[in-house]
Amino acid sequence: MKQRSAWPMPSVLNSHRKLLVLASAGLLGMAGLADAVGQDDLAEMPDWRSAELVFEIEWGEERLDTIAVSPDGLHLAMTAQGQLDVFGMELGEHRHRLSGHLAAGMDMALPVSSLTFSPDGRLLATTSWSQGVSPEASLILWDLATGEARLALAEGQGCHDAAFTPDATALWASCGAGVQRYSLANGEMTSDLGDRPVEAIALHPEGEILASVAANVGPDPEVSQRIVLWGLSRQGANQIGVLEVGASVTDLAFTPDGRHLVAQGQGDEQRQTPRQVTVWDWQRAVIVHRHALLDSTPVAMSPDGTILAGGFRDGLLLALDGTPLEHGILIRQQGGADALAFGPSGEEVVWAGKPPTFPTAVVRLWRTKTANQAPGQTGESDYQVIELPEAGTTDDPVALARELYGLREPNALIEETVTLRRLSGGDSVVTLRLDGLKDDSVRAIRYRLHFTPADEGRWRLDEVGRQQRCRRGGIDPDEWITQLCP
């Protein structure tokens, strides 16, 4: 199922926070980092370790199909088994029960295949596709002020996905045997391209490129493994390229800067291809990142395009390059997700699923804080402040962190991860983490090193904090603590 507003919309690009992650190999110094990515890239980012539960909504059914958050941050839409509801994002209050997609000639709600908010957050587009049963309207635009349908389109064709144009004057939708463009002024279809059912579409932030992938419903399964790129203009649409994925694709999205195309695939047992997310440099037709998935939960992208949320093998939150992000979202208590979505600020994640001990599904909003802590704020509630080493100043905080607390020699069993973050006041924080320690009591250690600017482009280490994860003693193995492990 699609959760289109989980993929970023052009209208929410005002929140542009980036995480700069340095893996244990190929680390760059501070000066090299500034040259490589630019000073703007060393900006604040949400500190997901501080994530807190804001509210919980009891759904009443076994599972949810998909969720979406409006770009203005006011509405949360969710659907399951044809039921379609809208809640407020601030308090989780119920606002509308939409009538949904009814089967033609029957009083029966059909499953919703995608939820897509307009860039201004005022409209919600929903689609429906069901084998053997035709809806009265396969594409509906809902007015969120009233909860009423403004346009009912595509009749019984069946629609899989939809995407608003950046100026919100039109809507592309994959209905019937192709992809159509509808005017929002009067519902008129102004373009029709392709000749087969389409599973997923994505519109470039500038609105001039459309990516599509065919549904796996015909005799040739390989059509669902090819992403077709279309060039759009006033004169029409032309196919400009094809990306060979090698597995059936279920979701597509461009990153907000338009440089990358993100595709979620089902996997292929015959080819021994796992469920995965591939990140494409679509202009060069090459895969730049590949991330394995444990389940088919639709992947969500943060509004700035730097973070992915999903059922990844390496964790719930990944940087676009695949580096796992530390967070305080209680996955062990929640279980696997049915659906995920980011809020427009990039500081909220909505998780939907059925926790192991719950009778029905719930929706939880987790909210974090921007990582802008000042010196002295890494106390016992966060990190245990430890004795400061005699380090003097350095021109490379990352190298100094590795020298002081990193691996002394390569070890295939211990994973070292180093993260560099520039704070809004000009200070910098390096986090060094060691996982898989061969210790009877300690399974992981995390150090936080706080640096302040010194003279001539150098940095002074002024505070070091430490946390650990324990193997025993009745302590949750995923919990970071400041006291010594038993």
Q: Which residues, including other chains, have CB under 8 Å from residue 358's CB and lie 6 or more apart?
A: none
pLDDT string in tens for the chain (486-residue length): 465 544 443 332 222 222 222 222 222 333 333 333 333 333 456 778 778 899 999 988 888 999 999 999 999 999 999 999 999 998 899 999 999 999 998 889 999 999 999 999 999 999 999 888 999 999 999 999 999 999 999 999 999 999 999 999 999 999 999 999 999 999 999 999 988 999 999 999 999 999 999 998 877 878 999 999 999 998 889 999 999 998 899 999 999 999 999 999 987 666 666 789 999 999 999 999 999 998 889 999 999 898 999 998 878 898 888 878 877 786 666 778 999 999 998 999 999 999 888 889 999 999 986 644 333 333 334 789 999 998 889 988 888 999 999 998 888 888 888 877 766 567 888 889 898 898 889 999 999 999 999 988 899 999 999 999 998 888 888 788 998 898
Task: Answer with the one of 331, 347, 368 that is the final residue of a domain.
Answer: 368
CA–CA gap between residue 301 and residue 432 (Å, rounded): 25
SS3 290: strand
CA–CA gap between residue 456 and residue 458 (Å, rounded): 6
226 CB-side CA count, 13 A: 11
Residue 6 located in a structural domain: no
Residue 299 located in a structural domain: yes
Sheet holding 148-153, edge to edge: 114-117, 123-127, 139-143, 148-153
- Look at residue 385 in the predicted model and tell me its pLDDT: 92
| Residue 240: other Cβ atoms inside 10 A | 12
- Look at residue 60 in the predicted model and tell me its pLDDT: 83
Owner of token pair 């994530």: 51
Residue 8 located in a structural domain: no
**Residues 21 and 86 occupy one common structural domain:** no
DSSP conformation class of 112? P
Residue 5 located in a structural domain: no
CA–CA gap between residue 136 and residue 108 (Å, rounded): 11
**Residues 456 and 322 occupy one common structural domain:** no
Owner of token pair 């444990």: 294
The H or E element containing residue 30 is helix 30-37
**Residues 80 and 21 occupy one common structural domain:** no
Residue 7 located in a structural domain: no
Counting the structural domains of the chain, the total is 2
**Residues 317 and 391 occupy one common structural domain:** no
Residue 315 located in a structural domain: yes
**Residues 375 and 483 occupy one common structural domain:** yes
| Residue 169: other Cβ atoms inside 10 A | 11
Residue 363 located in a structural domain: yes
Task: Answer with the one of 368, 384, 412 that is the final residue of a domain.
Answer: 368
- Look at residue 38 in the predicted model and tell me its pLDDT: 31
- Look at residue 89 in the predicted model and tell me its pLDDT: 93
**Residues 359 and 390 occupy one common structural domain:** no
CATH number assigned to the domain comprising residue 52: 2.130.10.10
Residue 85 located in a structural domain: yes
Q: Which residues, including other chains, have CB under 8 Å from residue 474's CB and lie 6 or more apart?
A: none
Its domain, for residue 78, covers 47-368
**Residues 118 and 266 occupy one common structural domain:** yes
**Residues 294 and 340 occupy one common structural domain:** yes
Largest CA distance in the chain: 79
Task: Answer with the one of 306, 339, 368 that is the final residue of a domain.
Answer: 368
Distance of CA 93 to the CA centre of its chain: 24
Nearest CA-CA partner of 480 in 338, 372, 370, 384: 384
Q: Which residues, including other chains, have CB under 8 Å from residue 132's CB and lie 6 or more apart?
A: none
**Residues 319 and 423 occupy one common structural domain:** no
SS3 334: helix
CA–CA gap between residue 107 and residue 133 (Å, rounded): 12
**Residues 277 and 320 occupy one common structural domain:** yes
**Residues 174 and 272 occupy one common structural domain:** yes
Q: What is the value of pTM for the model shown?
A: 0.71
CA–CA gap between residue 213 and residue 72 (Å, rounded): 29
Q: Decide: 144 and 123 in contact? Cβ < 8 Å.
A: yes
**Residues 340 and 457 occupy one common structural domain:** no
SS3 116: strand
CA–CA gap between residue 169 and residue 231 (Å, rounded): 18
Owner of token pair 């590949």: 290
CA–CA gap between residue 150 and residue 140 (Å, rounded): 8
| Residue 254: other Cβ atoms inside 10 A | 26
